[in-house]
Amino acid sequence: MDKRFYITTAIDYLNGQPHLGHAYEKVIADVIARSRRLLGEQVFFLTGLDEHGQKVQQAALSEGKQPQQYCDDLAKSWMSLAQKLGLTNDDFVRTTEPRHKKVVQALLTKLHREDHFYKAQHEGYYSPKEETFLTEKDRRPDGTFDPSWGEVIRLKEDNYYFKLKQHQTWLIDYIESHPEFVQPTYRRNEVLGFLKNNTLEDLCITRPAARLNWGIPVPFDSGFVTYVWFDALVNYASIPAALGDRVVVDAVGSQLPTPDSQLSLWPADIHVIGKDILKFHAVYWPIMLKAAGLPLPKQLLVHGFWQKDNAKISKSTGNIIDPIAVIDEWGIDAFRFYVLRELDIGPDGNWTDAGFAARYQAELANGLGNLVNRSLSMLKRYRGGVVPAVSNELKPVVEEFAQKVETAWRDNELQAALIHIWSLITRANQYVDQTAPFKLAKDPAQASRLDEVLYNLTEVCRIVAVLVSPFLPTTAARIYEQLGLRALPETFSAAQWGALPAGHTIGEPAPLFPRRDEVKK
Ligand code: ME8
């Protein structure tokens, strides 16, 4: 069984409604998944929900619900967001599912048996909100703790700890010798800086059940549940195990059921995550895997944070973007386009409604929409919608850009890919202005020149549809439909020049990006 290209997202805390940051990350992963499929890879794309822990338990309590009931009710709206975003995920993990819990417990059992844990009493400052003990290093210069920790209490309790110190050296060596492991490079440097300047503290991997019961029971001590991060990170491997991935099943434990299917997924090719959870993924997760005898993921692709109008997105101040409302108003492809075109994967970004509207008008409506609409309308008007003989005038420029887009896809440079595609669109729109087919149409002596121009324009539209398809799948399908072609092609070879045959009759042209006030109609 061939190993698939395996891509994951962070799994979102189920303690509220999805926001822009959640949607952005899922769209990044989806575009990478779609582009790799187009390039011929067998892909497996996993996303899901992080349902245990204090945050979720508190959110359930505040609604007067049992945590499981609360999760079941809310998970539906998150799963429908995945659909609304057009995600092509192959599975959706919920950490309350038995298939996940079994693997977490098997891993705990194995690591306990192999002496990676010890039990100890700890007294210190604790942030219930972030579910973590704080140290002196977390104090601000004035001695207080940052308000983002919420209420900080004094706590004394027994817990199990994961011995991390012995892992520090190999992890530094690994990250140094695998520059691709954490991307972009400045995030890698951040991790290396942290590892070189601090001694790793052992990680507390349990919570006493008497204090927090909404977690996976620790299999070797019924007084404890699993720390939510130890539980959540394992999702990346638990779903492969549930689908019969021998690499995970063999490493983690013989007590796991062996399913009939046998997908080969691990190690993950890309974990897409936000910058705030880098330490969990670049330090704790590799150590957990190494201790379990599993290979490390090939890459952590770390994106930045969105702000709105240069201020933190925050429910309490009302500074939020509801991705569903934006999609309902502007369409899914406009949302996908804006977030990926506006913000490269890495730095922080700033959402403005005016910026969104401006990109919609300039790049989608006047750029792509105008090119397709006028090209197909002219073919319809001047040639009854019948494609003329193949002509190669724009072939070199299209091939050059298609090549650049392919390279950008392979490098996960999604913003760069969009910039290349839009350079091609601009070039094609200039071609219309330069060749002036509307003038050629008035002169019968120019009929063969008009044929050439119309072929080039129609074929550019078709290839642009293939190139935008991972980003704007709905629009790409509509362009194909308007071209009178069958379903969008599934392989990148469709972007080769000249596949549109002479004599083919196109369908009906219609605006792809109507004016904003017409979108809702
Ligand atoms: O951290 N801009 O869940 P989460 C961009 N359950 N991305 C943002 C963002 C913003 N303003 N706010 C959050 C968790 N994110 C854990 C993950 S994975 C094993 C467990 C991103 O719901 C954030 O960086 O708080 C993370 O990647 C994702 O949204 C989920 O955040």
Q: What residues have CB less than 8 Å from 481, skipping those under 6 apart?
A: 507
pLDDT at 28 over 80: yes
Q: Whose CA is nearest to atom 30 of ligand 1?
A: 12
Average pLDDT over residues 390-403: 98
pLDDT at 34 over 90: yes
* Position in ligand 1 atom list of the atom nearest CA 307: 11
**What are 194's two structure tokens?**
């942290």
What is the per-residue pLDDT for 518?
54
Average pLDDT over residues 187-215: 95
Distance 278 CA to ligand 1 centre (A): 10
The pick from 17, 25, 55 for probing ligand 1's pocket by mutation, whose C-beta has the most ligand atoms within 8 angstroms, reads 25
Q: Whose CA is nearest to atom 18 of ligand 1?
A: 10
What is the per-residue pLDDT for 318?
86
Are the C-beta atoms of 402 and 460 separated by less than 8 Å?
no
| Closest to 18 in 3D by CA, of 44, 46, 50 | 50
What is the per-residue pLDDT for 132?
84
pLDDT at 19 over 80: yes
What is the rounded distance in angstroms from the CA atom of residue 332 to the CA atom of residue 352?
A: 17
* Position in ligand 1 atom list of the atom nearest CA 304: 5
Q: Whose CA is nearest to atom 10 of ligand 1?
A: 21
pLDDT at 307 over 60: yes
pLDDT at 520 over 70: no
Confidence category of residue 16, pLDDT binned at 50, 70, 90: confident
Helix (H) or strand (E) holding 307: strand 306-308
Question: Which residues have CB under 6 Å of ligand 1?
Answer: 10-13, 21-22, 24-25, 50, 232-233, 273-274, 276-277, 305-306, 313
What is the per-residue pLDDT for 317?
86
**Parallel/antiparallel/unpaired status of strands 5-9 and 43-50:** parallel
What is the per-residue pLDDT for 166?
95
What is the per-residue pLDDT for 240?
97
What is the rounded distance in angstroms from the CA atom of residue 287 to the CA atom of residue 168?
A: 9
| Closest to 187 in 3D by CA, of 253, 255, 274 | 274
What is the per-residue pLDDT for 521?
43
Q: Return the exposure string of 211-231: e unless at least 16 CB atoms fall within 10 Å of the residue's CB, then b.
A: ebebbbbbbebeebbbbbbbb
What is the rounded distance in angstroms from the CA atom of residue 6 to the CA atom of residue 451?
A: 45
**What are 255's two structure tokens?**
């007590």
CA 252-253-257 angle, 5° bins: 115
Q: Return the exposure string of 166-181: e unless at least 16 CB atoms fall within 10 Å of the residue's CB, then b.
A: ebbeebeeebeeeeeb
Helix (H) or strand (E) holding 132: strand 132-134
State pLDDT tens for residues 444-503: 999 999 999 999 999 999 999 999 999 999 999 999 999 999 888 899 999 999 999 999
**Least trusted range by pLDDT, from 2-11, 259-268, 320-329, 412-421:** 259-268
Q: What residues have CB less than 8 Å from 373, skipping those under 6 apart?
A: 509, 510, 511, 512
pTM here?
A: 0.96
pLDDT at 517 over 80: no
Q: Whose CA is nearest to atom 29 of ligand 1?
A: 22
Coil vs helix vs strand at 134: strand
* Position in ligand 1 atom list of the atom nearest CA 235: 19
What is the per-residue pLDDT for 55?
86
Strand order in the sheet with 153-162: 132-134, 117-127, 153-162, 203-204
Give strand ranges (E) for 176-269: 182-183, 203-204, 206-208, 224-226
The overall average pLDDT reported for the chain is: 95
State pLDDT tens for residues 343-359: 999 999 999 999 999 99
CA 291-292-297 angle, 5° bins: 90
